[in-house]
Amino acid sequence: MNGFQALDWVVVAFYFAAIGGIAWWVMRKKTKDSADYFLASRHIGWYVIGASIFASNIGSEHIVGLASTGSNSGVALGHYELHSWCVLLLGWVFVPFYLRSRVFTMPEFLELRYSPQARWVLSVVSLFAYILTKVSVTVYAGAVVFETLMGIEFWTGALLVVVVTGVYTALGGLRAVVYTDTMHSAVLLIGSLTVAGVGLMKIGGWGKVVSIVGPEHLNMFPPLDSEFPWAGLLLASPIVGIWYWCTDQCIVQKTLAAKDETNARRGAIWAAYLKLFPFFIFLIPGIIAGALRQTGQLEFEVADQVFPTMVKSLLPVGIRGLVAGGLLAALMSSLAAVFNGCSTLFTMDIYKKLRPDASELTLVRVGRIATVVVVGLGILWIPILRGFSSSLYQYLQNVQAYIAPPITAVFLMGLFWKRINGTGALAALVGGFVLGMSKLTVEVFEDSLSGILLDYAEINFLYFAPLLFLASVAIMVVGSFFTGKPDENQLEGLTYSTTMAEDKKKSRESWDNKDVFHTAVILAIIVLVMIYFSPLGVAG
C-alpha cells in the first residue's frame, strides 16, 4: 500500500498556501460592523452562495461515513444524499420570508414569528447540537482520514486542522468562509470523481460491480423488517432534510448574505445541483470498495477507512495529494460553517439579548471569542466520541432524527398557519426536545434496560422521527388553541396569508423561466436515480 510521497506533500502545501492567500485577501478588508462580519454585508452572489452551501454540508463525516455505509449497507441511506429537493425548498419557500425579515439567525426569525422565549430555546438547542455532533463528529472523522491516508497521528492531525480553520473563521467571519468554500468545492468534486473513476476502472466497470455486490446492496427501498426500512426512510428523511437545509443556521446563513432574493434563490438552485454529487462520489465509491474487497483487490481493517484507503491504494503520486487536499477541504469547510454559525447564534441570540447596548465592535469581538470557545468544547468532546467510532454515521443520523422533528414542525406550521402562536411553538420545542433526548438516553443505556423502557429504546430511529414530528405538531396545535390568537400586526409578512400583495409581487419578479427549468431538471434527476436504485431498476 503506497504512502504519501514528496510530490503529494507539495500539492497539499500548495493547497494550504492558496487557502491562506484567499483568507488573507479577505481579512485585509477591515470589518465594518456585525452585518459585515456575520453576513458579509449581505452582498454575496449566487455562485458563491451555492458553492459555500455545498461545501458546508460535505464534511469529513460524509466522506468517511457515506463510503463506510456504502460498503456495509449499500445505497439505503442514499435518501439523505438526494436532498437537493430540500435545498430547492429553501430557495423557493423559506428564503423570501427570511430576507424580508432581515434577520441574522433562525432563532431571531422565531422571535419575530412567535416569541422571545422560542428564540432562546432554539438558540440553546442549536448550540448544544452543534458542539456535540457537528464539531466533534467532523473533527473525529477528519482525524481518521489523516491517520489512514497521510500517516499523521490522530490528535496531531485533528488539532492542526481545527486550529487553522478556527483562526481564519474567527478573523475573517462569513466572508472568509464563503470565498474559501468556493475553492474547497472545486477541489473536493475533482478529487472524489477521480477516486470513483479509478475504482470503476480497476474493478472492470459498473456492470461488474453490480454482479459482485448483488441487487440487495443497490436497493434504496429495503424491506420493512430491515435496519433501514423503506417506509421509515421515506418518512424520516424529509423531516430531517427540511430541518437541516431550511432552518439550520450553518446552511441558511449563506442565503442571508445574498445581494437579493434572486441571488439567494439561484444560490440554492446551484447548491441543489451540487448536492446531487455526494450520492455518486461518496456513497457509490463505498460500494465499489466493497466489490474490490470481495475480489481481493483492496484491504481495509474497519469500514471507516474505506475512502482514505481507496485514495491511498488506487491513485498515483501527486493525484493522491490533490485528493487529500479535497479531504482537507471537506473538513475545513464544515468546521468553518459550524464555527461561524455558532458564533453568530451566541452573539446575536444570547449576548446581544443580554447586552442590547453593545457596540458593533464588541459584537464582532464576542463572535470571535465564541468561535474559540466552540473549538475548545468540540475538542474536549472528541475522547467521548471515540467510543462511538464503530457506528459514527449511525450515531449522527440518530441524533439528527431526535433533534430535527420539533424544529421542522415549528417552522413549517409557522409559515403556513397563522393561528399557531408563541405558546404552542414553545411547548412543541421544549416537549419535542425532551422526548428526543429521552430516546437518545435510553439508547445509550439500552443494555441495562428491560420492559417498556427497552421497547422504547428499540424503536427504529427512522420510525421515531415521524412519530416525534406528529407529537410536536399535536402539542403545538393544542397549545395554540387553548391560548389566545397571535397579534395580526406581529404576523405581517411572516406567514403566507399575512404577506402583503406588494411583497408577493416583488418575490414573483425575482425569478424567471430559467429558474423553473433548472428546478425541474434537478427534480427529474432525483426521480430517475430513485427509480434506477429500486426493485424497478438495477435492484430488481
pLDDT tens by residue, the chain, 540 residues = 456 788 888 888 887 787 777 767 765 655 444 444 444 445 577 888 888 888 778 766 677 778 888 888 889 989 998 999 999 999 999 999 999 988 888 988 999 999 999 999 998 888 888 877 777 777 777 777 777 777 788 778 777 767 766 665 555 554 555 566 666 667 777 777 888 899 999 999 999 999 999 888 999 999 988 888 999 999 999 999 999 999 988 789 888 888 889 999 999 999 999 999 989 988 899 999 989 998 988 887 777 778 888 888 888 888 888 778 777 766 776 777 677 777 777 887 788 888 888 887 888 788 778 877 877 777 777 776 665 545 566 677 788 999 999 999 999 999 999 999 999 999 999 999 999 999 988 887 887 888 899 999 899 999 999 999 999 999 999 999 999 999 888 898 899 999 988 989 999 999 999 999 999 999 999 999 999 999 999 987
Across 126-166, where does the E strand assignment appear?
Answer: none
Judge whether 110 and 119 are in contact, CB under 8 Å.
yes
pLDDT on residue 333? 66
Judge whether 268 and 28 are in contact, CB under 8 Å.
no
Q: Which residues pair with residue 258 across a beta bridge?
A: 44
* CA-based nearest residue to 176, from 40, 329, 56, 335: 40
Question: Which contacts (CB < 8 Å, 24+ apart) does range 209-214 have?
Answer: 209/287, 209/288, 209/291, 210/538, 212/291, 212/294, 212/295, 213/74, 213/287, 213/290, 213/291, 213/294
pLDDT on residue 39? 45
> What does the radius of gyration of the chain's CA atoms come to, in whole angstroms?
23
Q: Which residues pair with residue 201 across a beta bridge?
A: none
Q: How many CB atoms lie within 10 A of CB 129?
A: 18
Please give the distance of CA 94 from its chain centroid, rounded to a whole number.
17
| Cα–Cα separations (whole angstroms), residue 107 to 98, 248, 405 | 11, 10, 16
The HSE-up count of residue 195 (CA atoms within 13 Å, CB side) is 33
According to DSSP, residue 18 is labeled: H
Evaluate the CA torsion angle 419, 422, 427, 430 in order and state its sign.
positive
Judge whether 129 and 403 are in contact, CB under 8 Å.
yes
C-alpha grid cell for residue 523?
A: 427534480
According to DSSP, residue 44 is labeled: B
Q: What torsion do the CA atoms of 282, 284, 288, 289 make, to the nearest 10 degrees?
A: 30
Judge whether 418 and 114 are in contact, CB under 8 Å.
no
Residue-range domains of the chain with CATH: 6-26+46-532 (1.20.1730.10)
State the first-to-last Cα distance of the chain, in angstroms, to the nearest integer.
Answer: 37
Judge whether 196 and 370 are in contact, CB under 8 Å.
no
C-alpha grid cell for residue 473?
A: 405538531
The three-state secondary structure class of 258 is strand
List, in order, residues 6 or more apart from 129 with CB less than 8 Å away. 399, 403
Mark residue 355 as left, alpha or beta (left: phi above 0; alpha: psi -120 to 50; beta: remaining): beta
pLDDT on residue 234? 96
pLDDT on residue 8? 87
Please give the distance of CA 339 from its chain centroid, rounded to a whole number.
13
C-alpha grid cell for residue 294?
A: 470481495
Distance CA 9, CA 324 (A): 9
Evaluate the CA torsion angle 197, 203, 205, 211 in order and state its sign.
negative
pTM of the model: 0.86
Distance CA 290, CA 297 (A): 10
Distance CA 457, CA 449 (A): 9
| Cα–Cα separations (whole angstroms), residue 6 to 87, 317, 465 | 40, 9, 48
Across 256-394, where does the E strand assignment appear?
Answer: none
Q: In 345-359, which ranges are continuous DSSP H helix?
A: 352-354
List, in order, residues 6 or more apart from 413 with CB less than 8 Å away. 420, 425, 473, 476, 477
Q: What torsion do the CA atoms of 135, 141, 144, 145 make, to the nearest 10 degrees?
A: -110
Angle between helices 306-314 and 136-145 (to 10 degrees): 30
According to DSSP, residue 421 is labeled: -
Residue 322 carries which side chain, given as an amino acid letter? L
